[in-house]
Amino acid sequence: MTGIEWTNQTWNPVTGCDRISAGCDHCYALAMAKRLKAMGVDKYQRDGDLRTSGPGFGVTMHPAALGIPLRWRTPRLVFVNSMADLFHARVDEDFVRDVFDVIRATPQHTYQVLTKRPLRARRMADKHLEFPPNLWLGVSVEDQDAADSRIPHLQAIPAAVRFLSCEPLLGPVDLDAHLFPDECAGGCGCRRPDDPDRHECGCGAGCADRRVAPALDWVIVGGESGPDARAMNPDWVRDLRDQCSDSGVPFFFKQWGGRHPKQLGRELDGRIWGQMPQSCPAISK
């Protein structure tokens, strides 16, 4: 089990990572790995580069962990590598394929893979890495730059569900061009002909009657937690909620963050937002 609100199980066949962007600055997994190393936990005895990683957080593959999901009898929603990035450059391609083989062999479970390295995932997909239908792929998005650099790679990958984790949210994010990346076939330049408030269609091709499906399936938003947490503006959260609501994309608000995130709760404007993709099994906590 896990305390992460949007899943109900973690599975870590890989541990360790390196910081690559502003969203990594106060990485919870890095701090946890240091504690687990001090406690003598076997999986966290390899140190990473102190410039980008830390004690107990060196990238390590754990073949013995591959069989764990095979022993789960009841269906579970599984976050893969809460303590690592599966598409880190130091994770062997063969091992990534081994992880995918386990996912494919356990269709009763639904797996969530989250990465800050979607370019490598895309390159592996181009080299015929087949994504099982019970695997959801997401990218971390902390600000507009991260959105613009990572989401296009995500959208080029044939995952059954493609999602965003905007946590920690460090700035406003406009997803419109990513939710609707394709321009109207009529040539007017609009992306959302069914939403005249945001895109006025003037091509005369009748596209205003055509519904456009969003290119993302789920958006999670949360603030940074811990003693050095950076503040999250509530308006950034509201704007993402409204973008999702207008587009028909499930929206999940995880936390406000801060030193004691549990005390602040999960309410946004008097409501708990816990929407999930339609194909999702129920989360029971």
- Give per-residue pLDDT as tens, 93-129: 999 999 999 999 999 999 999 999 999 999 999 999 9
Q: CA gyration radius for the chain?
A: 19
Query: Average of pLDDT values for 131-156?
Result: 98
Burial profile 211-231: b = 16 or more Cβ within 10 angstroms, e = fewer:
ebebbbbbbbbbbbbbeebbe
pLDDT value at 196 more than 60: no
The pLDDT, as a whole number, for residue 195 is 52
Greater model confidence, 147 or 264? 147
209: which residues sit within 8 A by CB, 6+ positions away?
Answer: none
The pLDDT, as a whole number, for residue 184 is 64
- Bridge partners (DSSP) listed for residue 80: 11, 113
**How many angstroms separate the Cα of 166 from the Cα of each of 138, 170, 215, 232, 255?**
10, 9, 16, 11, 11
The pLDDT, as a whole number, for residue 203 is 56
Average pLDDT, the chain: 91
pLDDT category, 181, cuts 50, 70, 90? confident
Domain boundaries, the chain: 9-180+215-272, 181-210
CATH 3.80.30 fits 9-180+215-272, yes or no: yes
